[in-house]
Amino acid sequence: DSGVTQTPKHLITATGQRVTLRCSPRSGDLSVYWYQQSLDQGLQFLIHYYNGEERAKGNILERFSAQQFPDLHSELNLSSLELGDSALYFCASSSENQPQHFGDGTRLSIL
Amino acid sequence: AQTVTQSQPEMSVQEAETVTLSCTYDTSESDYYLFWYKQPPSRQMILVIRQEAYKQQNATENRFSVNFQKAAKSFSLKISDSQLGDAAMYFCAYSIQGAQKLVFGQGTRLTINP
């Protein structure tokens, strides 16, 4: 158990819809990262939050947004969903200069 | 831009044997970290080992060790006494010190033959 909790584990929805993925970091970790794992793109960094503030953006679509709340949990919002958004979405957390520990991921399927 | 390349899409090894997974990376930075993560069929991402670029000594974790060649930008993972539970996709990853976002290679699928 990595200590990083992601919910839900699975999500099935239709094109055009909007979903929210949730992540609770390990106790004491201020940094939260979101990654997308798809068959064609591999593992791609989306966004990094540190103590509530956005620190870095990767290949994140404009239809996607994220935030980190005062209790340090984070949410990734995906809107106007397309078939190509089907993927495994990982959240990871870390302390300063420590390795990232990953949650079990949310598998998103777009029908 | 930093890139990570794993040239072996698939590898297989007999149980109890030793296998080496290859990884090369490209960066102009001098301070960085390198990692190997394991993703078993359960799809979890599990940290196997980490190497700080400023350290010349190769990292080891039980049966797992790395061969870090900084000048050659090479970072291979050696698994000794392979076990059935080692079967997984292995990802090599890189991060700039302080920036921390991970850049992943495409992965190597390791099969362990009993």
What share of chain B in percent tops pLDDT 90? 88
A101 vs B47, B91, B105: nearest CB: B47
Q: Do A105 and B47 touch (CB under 8 A)?
A: no
Residue contact A104–B43, C-beta within 8 A: yes
- In the predicted structure, residue A97 carries a pLDDT above the cut 90: no
- CA–CA dist B45, B64 (Å, integer): 16
Query: What tens digit of pLDDT does each residue of B67-98 get?
Result: 999 999 999 999 999 999 999 999 999 998 76
Q: Which two tokens stand for residue B64?
A: 């797992």
Nearest C-alpha neighbor of B104 from the set B7, B1, B18, B6: B6
Q: What is the pLDDT, as a whole number, of residue A53?
A: 95
Phi and psi dihedrals of B84, rounded to 5? -55, -35
- pLDDT value of residue B99: 61
Q: How far does B74 lie from chain A, in Å, by closest CA?
A: 20
**Per-residue pLDDT, B98:** 64
Beta bridge partners of B24: B5, B74
Chain B hits for A2, Cβ within 8 Å:
44, 46
Distance from CA of A48 to the nearest CA of B (A): 7
Of A76-80, A84-88, B30-34, B109-113, minimum mean pLDDT range: B30-34
Query: A70 in contact with B at a CB cutoff of 8 Å?
Result: no
Specify the pLDDT at position A98.
Answer: 87
* B35, pLDDT greater than 90: yes
Average pLDDT, chain B: 94
DSSP string for residues in A39-57: TTTEEEEEEEEETTEEEEE
Q: What is the mean pLDDT of residues B28-42?
A: 93
Q: What pLDDT digit, counting tens, does each position of A13-57 carry?
A: 999 999 999 999 999 999 999 999 998 778 999 999 999 999 999
pLDDT average, residue stretch A3-22? 97
Mutate to test the interface with B, among A38, A45, A89 (most CBs of B within 10 A): A45
A100 with B102: Cβ contact below 8 A = yes
Task: Look up residue B36 and give its two tokens.
Answer: 């190997």
A96 secondary structure, DSSP code: T
Quote the CA–CA distance of B60 and B95 in Å, as a whole number: 19
Residue A74 scores a pLDDT above 70: yes
Residue in B102, B106, B108, B109 to test binding to A, most A beta-carbons within 10 Å: B102
